[in-house]
Amino acid sequence: MVGLTWQLIFTLEFLDRFPYPIENLIIGIAIWLAYTADRILDSRNLEKDLPHSSRHQFHHQFQTQIGCLWILTLGLNVVLIARFTSAAQIKWGVLCSFFVFLYLLNSQKNFRAVRAIPKEAQAGLIFAFGVSLACWSSAPPKIVFSLFTATLVTGVLFSINCAAVAYRERQLDEAQVFFAWTSNRVTTLTPIAFALALEFTLILAMLYFQLVSTFITSCLLSSTSCLAIAIIANQRHNENQTRNRNMPLTRAPEIRDLLADLSLILSPATLVALRFYHG
């Protein structure tokens, strides 16, 4: 839903139209393929005797079935892309797929040069590029800089969301030796606070210099504000809980874990609705 929401925002902003249904279908499948591939690769060597998330447990338990479904879904998406997309769209899609491949490879192998960039930043920037693909393939030269700026700032927002998830799951990642920005360090929320400050600064700069319209800056500003509130709420909840030294082996998701993702959906979706309600 996050990907489809922001694809809607980008196409409204830069192409002045709704995404075509086939665009939503292709990008939705592509997001699922990338997410599932990451989970399958992580869960291959899951240490079930150590703390882990329920989603890793699920992908580990059903990795054969999910792998077969993944291959079939990949084939379907290839057919859809070949049948319904232009050469320019395929070119940009291949570039994005290449970045996804590098990300997946890097998350499993220790490439120091690439790992200098936190995994969460890589994921956020690639995700932002993916949801803006429909615009890149048909963007006239006069909007390329605005599109690049909006994609970059949106990528920072997505990266903060990924970093917040990694912070909540830092004990699980440490137990399973998963690659994350929290790995091998004493972790606090300070880097996320700095990233939020940077995001607000970038958004206000975009607004001040009129690099993009107020619509997308409003979406970014509202989402960043809601994300900051969600992060603070989660942190206070954790502080108020009694520390549990006997961590359960499998951690099930909680409703509050969805707050970060909802902050990237509800506020911009509301602004989209208001835009069309007021004409």
Please check whether residue 47 is in contact with residue 175, taking contact to mean a CB–CB distance below 8 angstroms: yes
CB 124 within 8 A of CB 155: yes
What pLDDT score was predicted for residue 242?
A: 47
**Which residue from 194, 214, 174, 61 is spatially nearest to 121, judged by alpha carbons?**
194
Query: Does residue 244 lie within any of the structural domains?
Result: no
The percent of residues above 90 in pLDDT, for the chain, comes to 51
Q: Is residue 83 part of a domain?
A: yes
Spans of the chain below 70 pLDDT:
109-115, 173, 175-177, 179-186, 237-257, 279
Distance CA 223, CA 203 (A): 11
pLDDT, residue 233, reads 82
Residue 145 neighbours by CB under 8 Å, 6+ apart: 211
- Any domain includes 260: yes
117-141 pLDDT, tens digit per residue, is: 788 899 999 999 999 999 998 888 9
- For residue 131, give its domain range: 2-239+249-277
What pLDDT sits at residue 177?
A: 63
133 found inside a domain: yes
Number of domains in the chain: 1
Pairwise CA distance, residues 248 & 172, whole Å? 10
**Domain-embedded: residue 198:** yes
Give dist(CA 192, CA 234) in Å, integer: 13
| Chain position carrying tokens 């069309």 | 276
Instruction: For residue 203, give the nearest of 222, 190, 229, 189 by alpha carbon.
Output: 222
Does 268 fall in a domain?
Answer: yes
Instruction: Compute CA 231 distance to the chain's CA centroid, rounded to the nearest angstrom.
Output: 16
The answer to whether residue 220 is domain-embedded is: yes
φ, ψ dihedrals at 146, nearest 5°: -65, -40
Report which of 160, 95, 148 is spatially closest to residue 124, judged by C-alpha positions: 160
pLDDT 10s digits, 240-271: 654 554 556 555 555 666 777 888 998 888 88
In a domain, 148, yes or no: yes
